[in-house]
Amino acid sequence: MSLEPNSNQVEHLGISALLQGMAHVPGAILTATEAFEVVVDHDDPAAAQADRALNDVVRTVLLPRMEEDPNALVSALTKALQ
């Protein structure tokens, strides 16, 4: 997830959190969108993989811990994003 050319990762994390958390868009839809962008728009497959990994972190780490202690959330995100 620390792919150097993929400079939009913070933005992607925020958008993914809004889509999954507020709009209840399933992770499978976001994964399919990334695959579509690679095939149709010829996006970088490595960047798409990084975006899919961020979507997974949002689903498995961020959203389930939103109501927890902020320091615990930061620690969990830091660990997941390494």
Q: Is the pLDDT of residue 1 over 60?
A: no
Phi, psi of 65 (to 5 degrees): -110, 10
pTM: 0.84
In tens, the pLDDT along 38-67 reads 999 999 999 899 999 999 999 999 999 999
Q: What percent of the chain has pLDDT over 70?
A: 91
| Residue 24 phi, psi dihedral angles, 5° rounding | 60, 40
CA–CA dist 82, 70 (Å, integer): 18
The pLDDT, as a whole number, for residue 5 is 56
Q: What is the mean pLDDT of residues 24-37?
A: 94
Q: Are 76 and 61 in contact (CB under 8 A)?
A: yes
Look at residue 12 and tell me whether its pLDDT is greater than 70: yes
